[in-house]
Amino acid sequence: MVELLPSILSADFAHLADEVAAAERGGGTVIHVDVMDGHFVPNITLGPPVVKSLRKATSLPLDCHLMIDNPNEYIPAFADAGANWIGVHYETCPHLHRTIELIHNHGMKAGVVLNPATRVELILDILPMLHHVLIMSVNPGFGGQKFIPFSLEKIRKLAQIRKDLGLRFRIEVDGGVAHDTIAQVVQAGADLLVAGNAVFGDGNAERNAQELLAAAKKVAGEAS
C-alpha cells in the first residue's frame, strides 16, 4: 500500500499544527520530520522540542529522519519527545547494528537512510531488522531540490532484494517527489512517499496531498 508522508521541512512553521492538519485531511498518514545538524548536512532545522510540540498536534506517526552525526546520542531524546519511527543514515553509523538495536530498545520502528551515492548492497545484512529503508533521491540538506534520476534504479534494486529475500520492510523515498516524478517512483517499487515542497509549497496542503496520493494510488493500482 502506498502512503504519503508530508515533510514539514517545507511547511509554514508559524502555523505548523494547521499545516499538518491540512496534510492529514488530504490523505497524509505519517508526518515526516527532517532533523539536520549543520554538520552531516549543510543546514540546521529542528530537534526534540519541536517533535514534542508536534506530538501534541497530531495522532499520526512521526517519522524522524536524523541527518545528524552521532545519532545514538539523540535517539533517547526523540523517543521521549514522541517519535514513532527513526531513520538513521548508513553514512553516520559505524556500528549500525548497535544503532538499530538502540532504536528498537526505545520502542520505535527503525529505518536506514542511504544517500544518493550509497549502494543498497551495503545494508543487506541489516535488512531483516528494518521497518523501512529510505532512498534519498536528492543530496540531503535542503528542500525543493531536483530529483536524481539514477535513484529509480536503486529503488528497483531494493524492491527486487526485498522480493528475493521474502522481507517486509517498506521502501521510502525522499527528495524531489512531486507531480512529475511520483509515478516513476511508485513504478520502481516505493511505497512510502515523502513530499515536502509539493505538499506545502504553495499553501494548499490538503489539495496537493490529495492529488499526489491519487496519482500514486493510480499507478499502484489501488482505489483512491
Cell numbers given for 86:
527513526
Residue in this structure with the C-alpha cell 508526518, named with its chain if needed: 31
Q: Which of the 8 DSSP states describes residue 146?
A: P
Cell numbers given for 32:
515526516
37 is catalytic: no
Structural element, H or E, at residue 6: strand 3-6
Catalytic residue among 12, 34, 63, 80: 34
Q: What is the largest CA-CA distance in the chain?
A: 46
Contact 124, 107 (CB under 8 A): no
34 is catalytic: yes
Task: Collapse the DSSP code of 172 into the 3-class scheme (helix H, G, I; strand E, B; otherwise coil) and give the result.
Answer: strand
Q: Which of the 8 DSSP states describes residue 130?
A: -
Residue 170, beta-bridge partner list? 132
Catalytic residue among 18, 80, 125, 174: 174
Task: Collapse the DSSP code of 31 into the 3-class scheme (helix H, G, I; strand E, B; otherwise coil) and give the result.
Answer: strand
Task: Collapse the DSSP code of 12 into the 3-class scheme (helix H, G, I; strand E, B; otherwise coil) and give the result.
Answer: coil
Q: How far apart are CA 183 and CA 221, in angstroms?
A: 11
Active site residues: 34, 174
